[in-house]
Amino acid sequence: MARIFGIDLGTTNSLIAVIENGAPRVIADPETGRTLLPSVVAITPGGGVAVGDAAIALEANPKRASVVIRSVKRYMGLGGGELGPEERRRYEFADLSGPVVRFKVGARTYAPPQISAEILRELKRRAEAALGGELVERVVVTVPAYFNDAQRQATKDAGRLAGLEVVRLVNEPTAASLAYGLEQLNDGYVAVYDFGGGTFDISILNIKGGVFEVIATNGDTHLGGDDLDQAIVAELLAGLPEAARADRELWNRARAAAEAAKHRLSTAESAQIRLETGAGALERTLRRADFERLAEPIVERSIECCRRALADAKLAPAAIDAVVLVGGSTRSPIVRRRVAEVFGRDPFCTIDPDQVVALGAAVQAGVLMGARNDLLLLDVAPLSLGIETMGGLMERLIHRNSTIPTSVTENFTTAVDNQTHVDVHVLQGERELARDCRSLARFKLGPIEPAPAGLPRIEVTFLIDANGILNVTARDQRTGREHSVDVKPSYGLTDEEIERMLEESIDLGDQDLEERLLIAARNDADQILAALAKQLGEYGNLAGAEERRRMAEAAKRLAAARSGTDRELISRLVEELNEASTPFAHRIMDEAIGAALKRKSVDEIS
């Protein structure tokens, strides 16, 4: 199996990392040596795409015809009607009534996952170039812990559109705790304060014997460094007439100037801002005290989230053994000061806050590859999940901060005789009324065989998987028959839309694609053959004679197919060998667990 990579798909910057010899490292762009890819995408009127610095270069041209999109993460999983005035002002949108916002670029429109996919594609390209042609196909992508179902699904969709298999979504603060090697704490409570470009998360974990158990999480998916910039912009443009303030071009330049000033104020006591307007230059000196006055209410919102998370965890601030800072915004002295005050201890910030999430994603990728069996993440669902009941109430089925994967089974029946369908409306949120919660999806149970009201019994299982995404299955209790459940997400792209986008993006690349798939299949074959040879060498005594013969048979067939060009045959034989060796692999794992528990692998990553 090919390696799994870790990706931090951030609001402001994105990174890709991988684990090597047990230690994670960020992969730099081989051309520029830079590790951060600015999450900026430019689209030309002809549909051409530029990402990162190339997109920023286009943005600098005031006469440009391209649309330059920043902070696309803020738009992931949102319906048209959910845009705030600030978000609406920044770009042109098509069709704000639909279940997905769409950026308008000339005659074309782009859903947020398509834009994010361009960032992912660029990370993939860079990493493949840096690693001399090794394919990047399977990834762990991080998301804010407080992302809802639609936002998570949109992130997975972006991966699919970029031709990547998203093996797992991991919450950013949880990933950060992995990067810090906090398993050495052994039995302690950790708070991870993650103040990024566009989102804020706080997670409280209990770490014991390599198990990272999240006990509470809270946050705000629309609170971040962007808000600090906007507060400065609002102050800066306050004296200008309304028409000037509504000018998108001027606003963008003001934002860039504000961001630069904010960065300087992390170390300097004051910063100069100079902004060209239609009516001459605007000059201003921003002192740190001015900035902190603007920042205070924003930082306070994050502190409020921390208090709620502590209350959910039933812990006093003094019970926290370590505080970890994540995200570029934690460079601001006011943020560090307030966090230290609330938790009564100085936070950890030895790993670059811009890299820590990607490094943690790579560690989790290592766990998924079986390279770090000493670690295990037990994450939680950030929001309660429920259904709408009679009278428009929200009935909670899965409570927030439930460890995932988690499931609950609910029985449904009919209200009138011979009813053929039951409608179910799934909600996410903490409010009592259905209309105050976020609609997640709707589905119809049925067709139900005609019967008196109340007689049919349909058992519906709501399962939140390890990615925090909902799966629904239904079974008729009388007939024992599985019902197919056609869940219609309230927000986001449909499968058909994603298929169509994929077809459009592949267009001429068919030949190329075939070739890539063949390389991938061969890589898989090499990997499993090598792994098996190694395992048989070290743990041969754990396999029976008959079992060894079967595995050798399958390995021989695979080795023969591998030198041919039939990739489907190769894939099938990989699967066969995988099946034949799974019980053996499990036995090795059991054997290794005891040893792995004792192994000190902390030093490798800290």
Partner 1 sequence: MITCPSCTRAQAPALACAGCGAPLGANLDLFAALNLPRRLAIDAAAMERAYHDLSRRIHPDRFAAAPAAARDASMRATALLTRAYRTLRDPISRGRYWLELHGRKLGENNQRVPAELAAMVFETQEQLEELRESRTPENLAAARARRGEVAGALEAAAVALARNFAAWDADGEEADERRREALFTELKATLSKIAYLTTLARDIGRELETARAA
Residues lying near partner 1 in the complex (CB under 8 A): 1, 4, 167-168, 208-209, 211, 364, 367-370, 373, 376-378, 402-408, 463, 465-466, 575, 578-579, 582-583, 586-587, 589-590, 593
The residue count of the chain comes to 606
Strand order in the sheet with 385-389: 393-398, 385-389, 422-428, 438-445, 488-489
> Is residue 195 a contact partner of residue 218, using CB atoms and an 8 Å limit?
no
Cis peptide before 405 (omega within 30 of 0): yes
Residue 450 tokens read as 């005609």
> Is residue 535 a contact partner of residue 542, using CB atoms and an 8 Å limit?
no
Catalytic positions, written as ranges: 8, 73, 172, 194
- Please tell me the distance from the alpha carbon of residue 61 to that of residue 329, in angstroms, as a whole number: 28
Q: Toward partner 1, which CB reaches closer, 334 or 404? A: 404
Least separation, in Å, of the C-beta of 552 and partner 1? 18
Least separation, in Å, of the C-beta of 48 and partner 1? 36
Q: How far is CA 529 from the centre of its chain?
A: 32
Least separation, in Å, of the C-beta of 547 and partner 1? 9
Least separation, in Å, of the C-beta of 188 and partner 1? 14
**Contact partners, residue 405, CB within 8 Å, separation at least 6:** 463, 464, 465, 466
- Please tell me the distance from the alpha carbon of residue 466 to that of residue 381, in angstroms, as a whole number: 9
Task: Kindly list the distances between the CA atom of residue 349 and the CA atoms of 193, 330, 553, in Å, as whole numbers in the listed order.
Answer: 11, 9, 53
Q: Which residues of 378-405 are buried (b: 16+ CB within 10 A; e: fewer)?
A: bbbbbbbbbbbeeeeebebbbbbbbebb
**Contact partners, residue 25, CB within 8 Å, separation at least 6:** 17, 18, 19, 359, 362
Least separation, in Å, of the C-beta of 591 and partner 1? 10
Q: Toward partner 1, which CB reaches closer, 230 or 527? A: 527
3-state SS assignment for residue 84: coil
> Is residue 425 a contact partner of residue 444, using CB atoms and an 8 Å limit?
no
Tally of CB atoms within 10 A around 520 = 17
> Is residue 385 a contact partner of residue 460, using CB atoms and an 8 Å limit?
no
- Please tell me the distance from the alpha carbon of residue 579 to that of residue 257, in angstroms, as a whole number: 58
Q: What is the 3-state secondary structure (H, E, C) of 49-67?
A: EEECHHHHHHHCCCCCCCE
Q: Toward partner 1, which CB reaches closer, 179 or 271? A: 179
Least separation, in Å, of the C-beta of 445 and partner 1? 21
**Contact partners, residue 554, CB within 8 Å, separation at least 6:** 573, 576, 577, 580, 581
**Contact partners, residue 231, CB within 8 Å, separation at least 6:** 294, 295, 298
Q: Toward partner 1, which CB reaches closer, 11 or 364? A: 364
Write phi, then psi, for 532 (nearest 5 degrees): -65, -40
The helix (H) or strand (E) run that includes residue 117 is: helix 112-130
Residue 448 per-residue DSSP state: P
- Please tell me the distance from the alpha carbon of residue 160 to that of residue 154, in angstroms, as a whole number: 10
Least separation, in Å, of the C-beta of 511 and partner 1? 29
- Please tell me the distance from the alpha carbon of residue 504 to that of residue 131, in angstroms, as a whole number: 29
- Please tell me the distance from the alpha carbon of residue 451 to that of residue 411, in angstroms, as a whole number: 16
Least separation, in Å, of the C-beta of 520 and partner 1? 14
**Contact partners, residue 77, CB within 8 Å, separation at least 6:** 112, 147, 148, 149, 150, 151, 152, 153, 154, 155, 491, 492
Least separation, in Å, of the C-beta of 579 and partner 1? 6
> Is residue 107 a contact partner of residue 94, using CB atoms and an 8 Å limit?
no
Q: Toward partner 1, which CB reaches closer, 129 or 376? A: 376
Q: Toward partner 1, which CB reaches closer, 314 or 421? A: 314
Least separation, in Å, of the C-beta of 544 and partner 1? 10
Least separation, in Å, of the C-beta of 492 and partner 1? 22
Q: Toward partner 1, which CB reaches closer, 68 or 398? A: 398
Q: Toward partner 1, which CB reaches closer, 109 or 473? A: 473
